[in-house]
Amino acid sequence: MSGDPAATVRLVRHATLLVTVGDTTLLVDPMLAAQGADPPVENTPNQRRNPLVDLPPVDLDHDAVLVTHRHNDHFDDAARDRLDADVPLVVHPEQVQEFESEGFTDVRPLERELAVEDLRLSPTPARHGHGDLASAMGPVTGAVVRGSDGTPSIYLTGDTVWYEGVAETLADAQPTAVIANAGGARFREGEPITMDGDGVRRVREAAPDDATVAAVHMDAINHCLVTRSDLRDAVDGVTIPGDGDVLRIE
């Protein structure tokens, strides 16, 4: 394939992405700790220290940051220490004050369409689990990222299970690409709190036929029990990048 792509999405690790449209790069959900720096997520069957793997050798230069929610696997102490205090930081509206209390000076609530450099970000609904557990997991957002000319459109689901909010977003946004947080994260009790193979399959079926659908959020945190290998066996037509891989969005 020749020529420059309209956009690129690089998976750094887990849900940490570098989304580049035009001249603007958005760092998404930075979890930047070294392998094994953090304790395992409790009440799960796989009690290994997190992250399970180290960061790949990726240039993390960025113009702005999107944090879909404040769980440690999406914004950790290493990211807090490494990010510039004045970086444009786009966050869930309910979490603005927490970021400001940590010294960030340009915190922007994603409550409606928001312009960041030459990007336009729109919030999308997300449900981080089922029933009471979803409420206990706290607020989370997804986002549709577009260039200044409206194309391409990249739907970042954030941490969510498959439900009507995801289906409605796919129908309304008709995205060029979808990045789904998979991994089937779960505790010893209850249903998964992120998409498993069935959820990713439903995304693929509901997305535009010509859309790129990619699944991330696997093989890096101890309570994500659906691996890349599992997902490859469960779904067709879905890209499953490795850490450091780049997706070209045409």
pLDDT digits (tens, 9 = 90+) for 148-202: 887 799 999 999 999 999 999 999 999 999 999 999 999 998 999 999 999 999 9
- CA neighbours closer than 13 Å in the CB half-sphere of residue 17: 31
Asked whether 138 and 160 are in contact (CB, 8 A), the reply is: no
CA distance 134 to 160: 9
Helix (H) or strand (E) holding 8: strand 7-13
Number of compact structural domains in the chain? 1
- Whether 162 is covered by a domain: the verdict is yes
CA distance 248 to 177: 10
Q: Rounded to the nearest 5 degrees, what angle is found at the Cα of 246, between the Cα atoms of 244 and 247?
A: 145
Which region holds residue 217: left if phi is over 0, alpha if psi is between -120 and 50, else beta? left
Specify the pLDDT at position 3.
63
- Whether 229 is covered by a domain: the verdict is yes
pLDDT digits (tens, 9 = 90+) for 199-212: 999 999 999 999 99
Report which of 176, 184, 248 is spatially closest to residue 215, judged by C-alpha positions. Answer: 184
- CA neighbours closer than 13 Å in the CB half-sphere of residue 27: 22
Report phi then psi at 234, rounded to 5. Answer: -95, -25
CATH code, domain carrying 121: 3.60.15.10
The answer on pLDDT for 123 being more than 50 is: yes
Is 30 buried (19+), middle (13-18) or exposed (0-12) by CB count in 10 A?
A: buried
Is 34 buried (19+), middle (13-18) or exposed (0-12) by CB count in 10 A?
A: exposed
pLDDT digits (tens, 9 = 90+) for 37-91: 999 999 998 899 999 999 999 999 999 999 999 999 999 999 999 999 999 999 9
Terminal-to-terminal C-alpha distance of the chain: 10
- Whether 193 is covered by a domain: the verdict is yes
- Whether 1 is covered by a domain: the verdict is no
What residues make up the domain containing 63?
Answer: 7-249
Using a cut of 0.85, tell me whether the model's pTM lies above it: yes
- Whether 2 is covered by a domain: the verdict is no
